[in-house]
């Protein structure tokens, strides 16, 4: 049946791992916005949640790097990071191998997606799930777009991946939700960690809310790197969710730079009809 929810949020490890070092007022408003996202997701009563992430060398490396990948397992362990460092205990999130297989089969009609029957969740998925499905009671279908090791898939292919996920979700009888996770501008884990280009972020979010394919796919990677850092490559996850929302307008529920989290913290979703 038609996709029941589409949204995006930040996934930086500092959100949970360095929580005590953030301005409490801004941090708590961000956490409240994530709570609101969880409530809207729960109201959509999803049978499964596709998480379009930009994993960070937890599963995929440059020996065999897929541009796009989907998980096909009955469960997923995480976080790969030290639990004390990340601030999230070890967990096993449920999967749905059968549903993953059907989604992958449909996506393959237009995208040569890799699949993985093993997948360790890193902060890219663990942090969003910590807030959105804290009881691990919704089966997860992890999706990955390589945003870390260039060459990266062109943005219009990230859009096409999102279109394929929407088509596959609509074709399944289950109620399926999708979220994208990533940063907008940021320089994570580098000497520039904490730098955030807020004007660039707000301009991107304006394009995202208008769900303007041409504008969203109009960025050039060299320009993204210069203005938004290597973390800016993760706009691919947001763009895939835009495509999955099929032109509906979006709303930003929260945006604020939180330097110790190393990202402009974002909560946004689309008003699916």
Partner 1 sequence: MSLYYVQKFLYHLNRDPALQERYAADRRGALAGYELTGEEVEALVDVDIGLLFHLGVNGQILMHFAALHRIEWSDYLQRMRDGITRHGPVREGVYAMVGYEGTEAHAARLGQSGTPGEPGEGGS
Find the part of the chain contacting partner 1 (CB under 8 A) among 130-138, 159-167, 181-189, 237-245.
Answer: 181-189
Determine the Cα–Cα distance for residues 165 and 258; give it in Å rounded to an integer.
31
Closer to partner 1 by Cβ: residue 15 or 165: 15
Q: For partner 1, what does the binding mask look like between residues 104 and 133, x meaning CB under 8 A?
A: ----------------x-------------
Query: What is the C-alpha separation between 273 and 271, in angstroms, rounded?
Result: 6
140, 91 in Cβ contact below 8 A?
Answer: no
Span interacting with partner 1, options 127-135, 240-248, 255-263, 265-273, rule CB under 8 A: 255-263
Residue 184 binds partner 1, judged by CB under 8 A? no
| Number of chain residues interacting with partner 1 (CB under 8 A) | 39
Q: Which is nearer to partner 1, 31 or 225 (CB)?
A: 225
Q: Indicate whether 209 belongs to the interface with partner 1 (CB under 8 A).
A: no
Q: In the numeric block, which tokens belong to residue 118?
A: 């093993």
| Closest by CA position to 11, among listed 129, 158, 150 | 129
- Tell me the closest approach of the beta carbon of residue 146 to partner 1, in angstroms: 12
**Environment class of residue 162 by beta-carbon count within 10 Å: exposed (0-12), middle (13-18) or buried (19+)?**
buried
Among 76, 187, 238, 254, the residue binding partner 1 under the rule CB under 8 A is 187
Q: What φ, ψ does residue 161 adopt, rounded to 5°?
A: -65, -40
Q: Which is nearer to partner 1, 47 or 203 (CB)?
A: 203
Q: Is 172 exposed, middle or buried (CB count within 10 Å of its CB: 0-12, 13-18, 19+)?
A: middle
Residue 150 binds to partner 1 (criterion: CB under 8 A)? yes
Strand-by-strand arrangement of the 114-116 sheet: 114-116, 68-71, 140-145, 48-53, 176-181, 5-9, 263-270, 250-258
For residues 76 and 147, what is the distance between their CA atoms, to the nearest angstrom? 21
Q: Which of 85, 117, 218, 249 binds partner 1 (CB under 8 A)?
A: 85
Nearest approach, Cβ of 93 to partner 1 (angstroms)?
A: 17
Binding footprint of partner 1 on the chain (CB under 8 A):
14, 18, 56-59, 61-63, 80-82, 85, 120, 148-150, 187-198, 222, 225-227, 230, 257-260, 262
């Amino acid at each position: 049946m038609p996709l029941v929810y589409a949204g995006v949020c930040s996934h930086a490890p500092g959100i949970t791992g360095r929580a005590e070092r953030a301005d409490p007022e801004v941090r708590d408003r961000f956490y409240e916005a994530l709570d609101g996202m969880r409530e809207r997701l729960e109201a959509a009563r999803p049978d499964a949640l596709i998480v379009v992430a930009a994993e960070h060398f937890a599963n995929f490396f440059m020996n065999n790097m897929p541009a796009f990948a989907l998980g096909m397992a009955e469960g997923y362990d995480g976080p790969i990071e030290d639990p004390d460092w990340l601030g999230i205990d070890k967990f096993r999130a449920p999967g749905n191998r059968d549903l993953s297989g059907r989604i992958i089969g449909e996506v393959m009609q237009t995208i040569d997606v890799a699949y993985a029957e093993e997948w360790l969740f890193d902060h890219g998925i663990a942090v969003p799930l910590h807030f959105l499905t804290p009881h691990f009671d919704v089966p997860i279908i992890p999706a990955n777009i390589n945003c870390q090791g260039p060459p990266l898939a062109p943005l219009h292919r990230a859009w096409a991946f999102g279109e394929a996920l929407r088509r596959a979700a609509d074709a399944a009888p289950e109620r399926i939700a999708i979220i994208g996770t990533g940063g907008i501008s940021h320089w994570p884990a580098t000497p520039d960690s904490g730098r955030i280009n807020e004007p660039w972020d707000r301009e991107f979010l304006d394009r995202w809310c208008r769900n303007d394919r041409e504008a969203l796919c109009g960025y050039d990677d060299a320009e993204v790197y210069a203005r938004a850092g290597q973390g800016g490559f993760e706009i691919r996850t947001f763009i895939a969710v835009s495509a999955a929302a099929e032109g509906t307008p979006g709303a930003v529920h929260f945006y604020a730079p939180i330097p110790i989290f190393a990202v402009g913290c974002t909560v946004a979703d689309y008003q699916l009809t």
